[in-house]
Amino acid sequence: MMAQLDQWQLQPYWSKHLSQQPLQGAQNSRRHGSGTEFAESRPYTQGDEIRHLDWRLMARSGEAFSRRFEETRQAQWCLLVDMRASMWFGTRRQFKVTQALKLAALIAWQAQQNQATLKLWVLSEQGCVRLSLSNLHGHSLVLSLLKQLNRPQNTWQSTDNKASISLAHGLGELFVQVDSGSRIFVLSDLHDLNADDHFAKQLPIWQRRLDLQFLWLFDPAEVALPSAPGLQLVGALGKALRLDRSAARQAYQVWAQAHFAQLEQVLAQSGGHYAAVSTQVALEDLASAYQQLFIYPLGVLAWIGRNSEAEHG
């Protein structure tokens, strides 16, 4: 995986545009004016504020100098990885959560390339928790991230009988903890994003303060049930679903079409960027999924890895 990261040479969409966000890394900003980080002392000019005079330098040199400050420009990137039960599902190449970890590694690598500070959160059955990342760079940062995330499923399960934390609840907890202007990557199957109408209406407001990026993980069988005689799906509680009964297949397809359409509508109205990524997408092709977040206009959903067998209605 490290070798694949080295080979990816991405030119993200946002690097070519001036950003409206207040905290930026190695990119231009429309914001001007003084900030809080000391930059230099320069000769006093008419109009400089008295409070910015460098008295110590004046005492040594006998001339007036002003201290210049600037705003911190290092971008803040935040990763939220969904580790709830629905992410531990897969019918083909891998689980959705496995694909999420690979995307997380790619984003961590890109954060390094963009000189951005990376913070990591996990949404478990118990709530939204921040995981510490070592103050490392390059491969070491990626390995630190994978070590934090690569844990057994029971690590993220609830220890009591309380209901699972919703994605809306987890995002709400995250949004109030991050700085304005932060770029938020949400890696999730988003299965319950449309369950909270009030939160869905709040997303466009949050987008004005934050830069929301949704990577929507899906398995082909969730979009369209595979057709195979005698095939059945077995849930976490051991309950089996026969897939060769036409009535059940038709009922599921009607539900799935409406469900995915509702999720897509919520994402389109949020004002953020988003792309859907199949569990079938190979590691070497994940870079294209990442790039879809920035090359498509808002409201256009790129389904990465959706083949003819799993057409989205």
Statement to judge: residues 65 and 133 lie in one domain: no
Q: Domain range spanning residue 51?
A: 37-70
Confidence of residue 192 (pLDDT cuts 50, 70, 90): very high
pLDDT, tens digit (0-9, with 9 covering 90-100), for 68-121: 776 556 788 999 999 999 999 998 789 999 999 999 999 998 888 888 889 999
Q: What is the pLDDT of residue 229?
A: 76
pLDDT per residue as tens digits for the range 254-277: 999 999 999 999 999 998 899 899
Domain boundary among 21, 53, 70: 70
Q: Is pLDDT larger for residue 167 or for residue 298?
A: 167
Q: Could you give the number of structural domains in the chain?
A: 2
Partners of 78 in the β-ladder: 119, 184
Q: Which residues face 277 on adjacent strands?
A: 217, 304
Q: Say yes or no: 44 and 122 in one domain.
A: no
Specify which residues 310 forms β-bridges with. Answer: none
Given 45, 70, 95, which residue is the final one in a domain? 70
Exposure class string for 16-38: b at 16+ Cβ within 10 A, else e: eeebebbbbbebebebeeeeeee
State the greatest distance between any 2 C-alpha atoms of the chain, in Å, as a whole number: 91
What percent of the chain clears pLDDT 70, i.e. is strictly above it? Answer: 76
Answer yes or no: is 22 within a domain. Answer: no
Residues 180 and 282 grouped into a single domain: yes
Write the CATH number for 199.
3.40.50.410
Let me know whether 174 and 293 are in one domain.
yes
In a domain, 26, yes or no: no
Tell whether 62 and 88 lie within a shared domain: no
In a domain, 227, yes or no: yes
Query: If pLDDT is split at 50, 70 and 90, which confidence band does 3 have?
Result: low
Residue 307: is its pLDDT beyond 80?
no
Residue 18 pLDDT more than 50?
no
What band does 138 get if pLDDT is binned at 50, 70 and 90?
A: low
pLDDT of residue 235: 67
> Are the C-beta atoms of 89 and 96 separated by less than 8 Å?
yes
Confidence of residue 232 (pLDDT cuts 50, 70, 90): confident
In a domain, 20, yes or no: no
142: nearest Cα among 109, 114, 110, 115:
109
pLDDT number for residue 11: 41
Q: Does the residue 15 lie in any domain?
A: no
Q: Same domain, yes or no, for 218 and 154?
A: yes
pLDDT for 23-65, tens place per residue?
Answer: 444 454 444 444 556 667 888 887 788 888 888 888 888 889 8
Flag whether pLDDT at 195 surpasses 80: yes
User: Does 79 lie in the same domain as 41?
Assistant: no
Q: What is the pLDDT of residues 276-301, one digit of tens each?
A: 999 998 887 888 777 777 766 554 45
Share of the chain above pLDDT 90, in %: 35
Q: Is the residue at 32 inside a domain? A: no
Element housing 41 (H / E): strand 37-43
Residues 48 and 189 in one domain: no
Is the same domain home to 79 and 161? yes
Residues 92 and 222 in one domain: yes
24 belongs to a structural domain: no
**Bridge partners of residue 185, in order along the sequence:** 79, 213
The CA-atom distances, in angstroms, between 260 and each of 80, 95, 165 are 21, 19, 21
Residue 122, pLDDT > 70, answer: yes
Residues 112, 103: contact at Cβ < 8 Å?
no
Q: Are residues 63 and 167 in the same domain?
A: no
Note whether 185 and 248 are same-domain residues.
yes
Instruction: Judge whether 29 lies within some domain.
Output: no
